[in-house]
Structure formats: structure tokens, C-alpha cells
Amino acid sequence: MQRTTFTNRTPLPNTLSEEAVLRILHDHAAMIEQNPLVIHYERISTPDDAPEDERDGAWYELTDRISYLPCGLLQGKLNYRGYLHDTPQGLRTHIYAPLGVHIHDYWTVHRRKIFAGETGPPSVFYLQEEVELICPFITTSFVRRTLSQSHSELVARLVAAGGGSA
């Protein structure tokens, strides 16, 4: 298994407050439904094999439509479990996908520092996504690319739903 970490930071429109962004992150249905890959989901009870530190959040059974080749030439469905836990700063998730793929995601909202001499309308807040991806070496590139593309669209949809524009 290969472990990969990366961080995405997205400036947020000034029309969104920190509270509005946190409200969106804590709305699990919105987070799931705005993901362009998810075609079905349902809430499930905490699995018996859930780690001790993941017993206090919400668990879901999810289905994604995945394109294995460009232009949708080869598509399939992927079923997996996901754990979502609200935090004071945002949302923590853990995806348990087939082939031993684990995706740990920590979404947080931060106030951007404004430096003297900056010009233009500064973005006051940004959304940060810290990702830890654990998967077989041969799938790392595909999983990371798919994750980055879908989460980029997810963030744009969440911002639009929150009354801003990315």
C-alpha cells in the first residue's frame, strides 16, 4: 500500500461567512449530494468493525459512478462505506473503498491573512482540504486524479449552494 498526502486550498467568495461554510460542511447530505461521482447513498448504523474513534459520527453506504477511461468510454459503479464526523473547524471523513483504499479527508475553513500592500479584493476565507490517501501503488494515480477532479467540482457546487461563486 502506498500512502500519499496532499492539501487543496480554495479561496472563498467574500459573500460567504465562516458560519455559512461550516453550516455547509456539517450538512452531510449536501456534502454527499454535491459530489459529482455519487449516484446513491443511504445512512447506515455504525458497523461492528468501526474503529473506536469513528463510532461517534455518521456512517453511509455510497455508490459512485466511475469513468475508468477518458470520455466515459468505460464506466462502472463502485460501492463503499463512508464515515463523516463534524468538528468545530469543519468536517472529518474516512472512506473505505474496495481494494483496501482508504481516503482520510479533513475539511476546514480558515481566515486568510491579508498582507500590507495587497491589491484587489482579497478573499477573506479559504476552504482547506487535507487528504491522506492509502491505496495499492498501481491505483494511486487514478484514485488521486479522480478524487481531485470530483472534489474540485464538489467545492464549486458547495460554494454556489452557499450563495457565492467560486
Report the pLDDT value the prediction gives residue 120, as an integer from 0 to 100.
Answer: 53
> Of the ranges 3-7, 96-100, 110-114, which one carries the lowest mean pLDDT score?
110-114
**166 in a domain, yes or no?**
no
Q: Which residues of 61-91 are buried (b: 16+ CB within 10 A; e: fewer)?
A: ebebeeeeeeeeeeeeebeebbbbbbeeebb
The domain that holds 64 is classified in CATH as 3.30.530.20
Q: What is the pLDDT of residues 46-88, one digit of tens each?
A: 999 999 999 999 999 999 998 877 776 788 999 999 999 999 9
pLDDT tens by residue, 10-34: 888 888 888 999 999 999 999 999 9
As for how many domains the chain has, the answer is 1
Q: State the pTM of this model.
A: 0.86
For residue 116, the model assigns a pLDDT of 67
